Amino acid sequence: MHERLYIPPEKLSSRVVLRGDDARYLLAVKRCRLGEVVELFTGDGYVHRGRVSELARGRLTLTVEASEPGRRESPVRVSVATAVPRGKRMDTMVEKLSELGVRKLQPVDTARSVVRATTVSAARYQHWRRIAVEAARQCGRATVMEVAPGQALLSAAQSLADSALKFVATPEGAQPLLTTLAPLAPGDTAVFIGPEGDFQQEELSELVAAGAVPVSLGPTVLRVETAAVVAAAAVMLWADSRRS
């Protein structure tokens, strides 16, 4: 398997010159040599084959020989709108949702949120986006999961209104997610995950009014990041099974 590297789409050309951390990674860590192939992905669904054509101190040049669509993306776009958990638990959520193939992570504010998504620093969002890029590099994705700026819950519901299927995870009188999914045809899907202590009843009612179907993720009480990963994994596996 070739080494993989992310570069922003605007930096892709027939010759890509790498410096700094990327060059050090390929030269010092991976010991790349002239003629070796490096797979570049630009996060927009395409991968590009670059061949090492020039080596210099602190610099490496790749000649791009071919480009093609990535093969590991689900045709179903899954979005997860979620309350933000404390500390590094959000880092874990970002990494695992990216690995699963989620297209968009939308942090939201809820009445019981401990961390307010709309007041998290820009630096923290950049940190989460870097985690999404690295997870995409490791797992072979051609698309980088979007980590959107924080929104109020109802604003997020409006921004995800085009999703064909919408679900809200809640233990209150809901049938299991897999039971709900079974008779449905796959389509773009949005899942709403509440904070510790769940959504308030008014919030649940507003989400249901916006088209979200209440579902259960099992008999136990899950942490926010666990619930997000369980829900996304169930939807991704269901969509993949219906494709095959």
Q: What is the pLDDT of residue 112?
A: 95
Whole-model pTM above 0.95? no
pLDDT for residue 63: 93
Q: pLDDT at position 11, please?
A: 86
pLDDT of residue 244: 59
Q: Would you state the pLDDT for residue 107?
A: 98
Give the DSSP letter string of 151-164: EEHHHHHHHTTT-S
Task: Specify the amino acid at residue 199.
Answer: F
Query: For residue 168, which amino acid is it?
Result: V
Per-residue pLDDT tens, the chain, 244 aa: give them: 578 889 888 889 889 998 888 888 888 788 888 988 999 999 888 899 999 998 888 888 999 998 888 877 888 899 999 999 998 999 999 999 999 999 999 999 999 999 999 999 999 999 999 999 999 999 999 999 999 999 999 999 999 999 999 999 998 778 999 999 999 999 999 999 999 989 999 999 999 999 999 999 999 999 999 999 999 999 999 998 877 5
Residues 162 and 128 sit within 8 Å (Cβ to Cβ): no
The CATH classification number of 3-69 equals 2.40.240.20
Residue 195 near residue 114 (C-beta atoms within 8 A)? yes
Q: Give residue 243's pLDDT.
A: 72
Cα angle, residue 88 at apex, residues 85 and 91 outer, rounded to 5°: 85
Q: Where are the domains of the chain?
A: 3-69, 78-243
Q: Which CATH architecture has domain 78-243?
A: 3-Layer(aba) Sandwich (3.40)
Q: At which residue do the structure tokens 């050309």 appear?
A: 13
Place of tokens 């809200």: 168
